[in-house]
Structure 1
Amino acid sequence: MKTELKAKFLQHIIGKKKENEGFTLIELLVVIIIIGILSAIALPSFLNQANKGKQSEAKQYVGSLNRAQQAYYLENSSFGSTIDQLAIGIKTQTENYKYQLDNSVASQVANNGVSLKPALKSYAGNVVLSVLQTTSSDASTLAILCETTAVGVGTSLAPNGSGTPLQPACPSGYQPLK
């Protein structure tokens, strides 16, 4: 009886191994479909985060240019005309952005971070000399950082201040950042 029981047990074990040899085609298809759905949801979100990281470079650089222009004016009573003149160690062009200054308008300067890639936004900074009274000793500088409302390869912008006393403003197609 014991040998009969052993034989039945061995047949049962051999039968179990044949059942669990691999996955069926339907099981593999279900797994592939689930992975496809998850990647379709996650990929656009991932790409958007990558673009935000690239855009943070331009925000930092244009903000630094604004602060450097304010410091330069404090020391020299005029705005800097080149990035090298500001001496803050910013490259004029990176893989994603080109940085330019425009001081063609008296008493204000535009600092531009122009997008070189169609998936990125451009940035513009505007620093103005806001004269509070008639003497230049009462002058102060005000700055604003602006972002395009749409993505795409950008163009350099001229300074855009308005009002009395002069206030920095964003050009059309741009919105101020806080």
Structure 2
Amino acid sequence: MKTELKAKFLQHILNKKKNDEGFTLIELLVVIIIIGILSAIALPSFLNQANKGKQSEAKQYVGSMNRAQQAYYLENAEFSTGINQLGLGINTATENYKYEVKGNASQVANNGLSSKTALKSYVGVVILSSQQQTSEATTLASLCESNAVGAVTTALDPAVSGTAPQLQPSCPATFSVLKSK
């Protein structure tokens, strides 16, 4: 009789556990709140990474325009006044940026102007710097990034610092140097 009672008791306990399976409403709410907090932390970081990817387009294009301006000057003894003359195959406007060239015989600015409020603009400055010891002219380039995000509508002029013959390309106001060569 004892074994029969034990068997019924064990069967009763097993049946009770099957009925108690599942999650309570409080447990589900806690999980949903945790997922919400984690997504609120991760979403801004993800969006920032997407903007950095879009900005890399402008960095690459403006850097390529700088190098092409230096090569163009070597071949033609003047800077190009248009993107198409550089032979890079860069569109003057993309979804995120508008590209323009502005300058004169001794200096040029290659502009990557942001079309969207969440992106930074870029300017490549290429100048002609004469060496006093020799009569050779060299080109110096600098890539600049805007300090603030936002759409820019007007092309920026090239900037130069120093006095001849120690001229250096410099960034326009509200821009910072990324790299110089």
Q: TM-score range by the shorter chain?
A: over 0.9
Counterpart position of 1:50: 50
User: How well do the aligned residues superpose, as a CA RMSD in angstroms?
Assistant: 1.5
> Distance in 2 between the 1:106 and 1:67 partners?
16
> Distance in 1 between the 2:13 and 2:31 partners?
30
> Distance in 2 between the 1:12 and 1:132 partners?
95
Question: Map of 1:37-76 to 2, 5 A cutoff?
Answer: 37-76=37-76
Counterpart position of 2:120: 121
- Alignment: residue pair count: 175
Counterpart position of 1:88: 88
TM-score (norm 1): 0.93
8 Å CA contact 2:78–2:105 kept in 1: the answer is no
Give the drift of 1:19: 1.3
For residues 12-59 of structure 1, the C-alpha deviation after alignment (integer angstroms, 9 at most, x for no partner) is 111111111x21111011001101111111111111111111111101
Structure 2: give runs of 5+ residues left out of the alignment: none
32-41 or 163-172, which deviates more:
163-172
SS of the residue aligned with 1:49?
Answer: helix
Determine what percentage of the aligned residue pairs are the same residue. Answer: 65
Runs (4+) off by over 4 Å: none
Counterpart code for 2:13? H
> Distance in 1 between the 2:126 and 2:137 partners?
13
Give the drift of 1:134: 8.8
TM-score (norm 2): 0.91
8 Å CA contact 1:96–1:115 kept in 2: the answer is yes
SS of the residue aligned with 1:177?
Answer: strand
8 Å CA contact 2:79–2:105 kept in 1: the answer is no
> Distance in 2 between the 1:16 and 1:134 partners?
94
